[in-house]
Every structure is written in structure tokens, then in C-alpha cells.
Amino acid sequence: MAVKHSGAAPALSPARNPVSAAKRLRIIQAMPLSLFQKTSKNPDAAQKHAANPSRLSNAELFIIACNFLMLGLFSQFKLSSDSASYLQHSMLRSPGYPLLLDVLTKVFPDLAYAATVILQTSAVMCAAFFLSKVLKKHFNLPDPLFVFCDMLLLSPVASGRAALIGPEAFMYAAVLTAAGFIIKDIFEETQHNFSRAVSITFIGCLMKPQTAFMYPVIALFAFIRARETRTWKKLAGTLSAILVAVCLTGISERAYNLHFNKNFTDCGFGHFHMFATLAHFAGPEDVAALSLPEDKYVMQKVLDYIGKPDMSAKYDEDIYSPLLWHSLSTFMPDAEKQNPQEARYRERIFVSRVWPKLMKNHAPEFFKFVAGKFVLGLSYGYYLFFVAGLWIIAKSKDGKLRKFMLLGIAMAVMNHLIISMLTVVRDRYSFATTVLFSPFILIAVWRTSAHD
């Protein structure tokens, strides 16, 4: 029953204990006036949103509407040069994307490609919305900046990259989601955020192994938190989860190849790339050091094919594809008598035996070459972001902002490093982190101006 309040304290009946009556009087006078007023049956929009925080704001509804519009405009599928290897269950590809294509082909026999593009574009949109919401919540972004950041994160959709038949869109979605959980941990400091980041990265690795660059980033921020809070057991738990995820990825690849390619082996695509680089530094002494006659035969064929290249001029050249996709299988003894599966398996075994020995003999040349690709592959956007990020880390007194910028730098460096080690630095590999440069800089400027 509502109690009417006239502004003055209500009259109290005489009490036997005057002290307790005076206390009751002070309590009633301290109560807010709203407790004694009738609740309106038609509260305004702000009161509705406060009563129901799960209700979408106008900015969120605008983003969702834009997502549907972009899904209709940019959902025309495209085939890349790598699409065929996923469709054919190549031994060199991770299992996640080919299995997804199989499922969608069975569910939508005539619309498998369209369903794939819609699914991977939706994954990117959901991941971008999740990260934008995290940024809005913890950095108190105004609605215009919130919408703008989300649109920046969706630039791979507008450019058509998410419509390619390939795992890059799912890798990008996994990177955005894992970054969102790390940012949540910067502000909330709960263990489950790191566990979720590891889980999402594991799913991304099943789609594209390049996503593994997020594991060192997660380990770095788990270490920073453990050092600040002295919770070393939680750090051990995060590192154990990363180790388990890596092992499960290898087991999944072996089970996939056993089923589709009749060989219990992982995809080993990184081994092929490192072998292709190391082979350009090898010589006759490396051939002589091999123990198996078949390995010597194939390695000599590789050296004859490569010749004596000038590696100082090959930082931007694709020295991998001609050897890996067109020539290596023909160097195997009796190659003309082998079926494609057997030939690819023999290549995989040969590379796994030879590349560690080449790395032992030519590690300085290999890492010097990688360092050259790393530096020359940096665009002006990288330099601008690194300079701005390091300046903020050095000058800002906001510890959370410093960690936020450290996250952006760590992600960019690790992704660029893994690309430089394995292949030519191209936008199709680096976009997952370069897209984050503009939102991170904008938020850092907003956070700094809001605190001044």
C-alpha cells in the first residue's frame, strides 16, 4: 500500500520509548521521497533501459541494421587460389574448415557456398559486435564512437575478404573474440576470461593454424596479472590450458588425415614453409649429411631446382609456392607411379626429417632472413601504431590504458612475426591485426581526453 508523503515527517503516535521514536523519525526523514510516491505506469525510455539493462540501445539497433544490410550487399562468395585445397581435404590443411564445408554441403546441397559465406560473415559480425560492446562498457564510449569502432572492425566484410571461400574470416572472428576476453580481464581480472580466450583461439587454430599467434599474447597477459596479484597457480592453469589446446589441435589434425588421407600425421604446413626457406641456404654438404639415400636423392633434386639464388633480393618474393605446390612431389623416386595421397604423404615425411637438420646448420641465415622480411614487411600503419602505442605506454598514468595498448602491440608483433617466419607478408595474412590499429588509437585518444 503506497504511503502519501507531504514533505514533512508524518506524525507519530506517542511512544513509550521516546529515544526509539526519535530514531524512527530520523530514519523516515532520511528516506528518499521516491519511496513514498506512486510508480508511474509509463516510465520514459531512460527508466525503461535502467530497469531492463539487456534492452538494446539505439546505437546497438543501428549496428544490427547495418549488419543485415552488409550481409545482403557483401555475401557473394568468391573462390581464391587456396580454396581448392580445402575442398579436396588436402593433407596440408587444418580440419575445421573442410569439415564445415562438408556439413554445409550436406545440409544445403545447392547453396553450400552461399551458406558458408553467410555463416562466416555472421561470425565476423558477431565477433566485432562483442568486441565493440566490451570496449564501450569498459572505456565508456559514446554511441557515435561505439558505432564507428564497430564499422571499422567490419571493414573485412565491406572489402569482400569475409566472402572468400577460406578460413580467414573465422580466424579474424576468433582473434576479435579472444582480444575481447583479454580486455575484459584487464578490467575485471577473472580467471574464466583467459580460459575462454584459449578456447576461442583453439577453435580458430582448427580453422587456420595462424591463429596460434594469440597463445603467446594470452600467456603474456596471464603473466602480467599473476605478477600483479601473486596468483601464480592461475598462471600455471592458463599455461596448462594452452598446452592442452596445442596438443588437441595436433590430435585433431592427425585424426582428420587418418580418415581422409589414410595417414596419421598432422598438417605440418609450417614445416613445409620453413623447409622451403632453409633449402635456399643449403648446399652439397647438407646433402652429404643426410643418412637416407632417398632423402639425399630428393634434396639434391631440390638444390638443382633452386640453383644459387640471391636471398637478399627475395624478401617480397614467393619462394614457397613453386617448390611446395608444383615441384617437390615430382622429385620423389618413382613419383609417376604414386597416387596424389601417397606422394603428399612422402613429401610430408621427407620434410619432417630434413628441415630440423637444415635449421641446425643454417639457423643464423634463416633468422636473419626472417628479420629482414619482418622489417621490410612493416607498413607505415605499423610504424604509426607502434610509435603511438609505445608513447602512450611510456607517458600515460592510466594502467589499464597502458595494458590495452600493449595488447594491440603484442598482437601485431606476434602475428607479423609468425607470417615472416612462414611466408611472404601480405594483407590477406596480416589484416586480422592491422584492422585493430584505428580503433585502438581512437579509443586511446578518447580515454586520455576523458581523463584530462
pLDDT above 60 (res 253): yes
Which tens digit of pLDDT belongs to each residue from 376-415? 888 888 999 999 999 999 988 899 999 999 999 999 999 9
pLDDT above 90 (res 123): yes
pLDDT above 60 (res 16): no
Considering only CA atoms, which of 136, 134, 202 is closest in space to residue 170?
202
Position 36 scores a pLDDT of 41
More confident residue, 330 or 178: 178
pLDDT above 60 (res 373): yes
C-alpha gyration radius of the chain: 29
> In the structure, what pLDDT confidence band is assigned to residue 2 with cuts at 50, 70 and 90?
very low
> Mean per-residue pLDDT for 230-235?
89
- Averaged confidence pLDDT in the chain: 82
Position 310 scores a pLDDT of 65
Position 113 scores a pLDDT of 87
> Mean per-residue pLDDT for 158-186?
91
SS (H, E, C) the chain: CCCCCCCCCCCCCCCCCHHHHHHHHHHHHHCCHHHHCCCCCCCCHHHHHHHCCCCCCHHHHHHHHHHHHHHHHCCCCECCCCHHHHHCCCCCCCCHHHHHHHHHHHHCCCCHHHHHHHHHHHHHHHHHHHHHHHHHHHHCCCHHHHHHHHHHHCHHHHCCHHHECCCHHHHHHHHHHHHHHHHHHHHHCCHHHHHHHHHHHHHHHHHCHHHHHHHHHHHHHHHHHHHHHCCHHHHHHHHHHHHHHHHHHHHHHHHHHHHHHCCCCCCCHHHHHHHHHHHCCCCHHHHHHCCCHHHHHHHHHHHHHHCCCCHHHCCCCCCCHHHHHHHHHHHCCCHHHCCHHHHHHHHHHHHHHHHHHHHHHHHHHHHHHHHHHHHHCCCHHHHHHHHHHHHHHHHCCCHHHHHHHHHHHHHHHHHHHHHHHHCCCCHHHHHHHHCCHHHHHHHHHHHHHHHC
Handedness of CA 333, 339, 343, 349 (dihedral sign): negative
Position 53 scores a pLDDT of 52
Handedness of CA 394, 400, 404, 409 (dihedral sign): positive
CB atoms within 10 A of CB 211: 28
Position 280 scores a pLDDT of 85
Which tens digit of pLDDT belongs to each residue from 295-343? 898 898 888 888 776 666 566 677 777 777 666 777 777 766 667 677 7
Position 93 scores a pLDDT of 85
Q: What is the pTM of this model?
A: 0.84
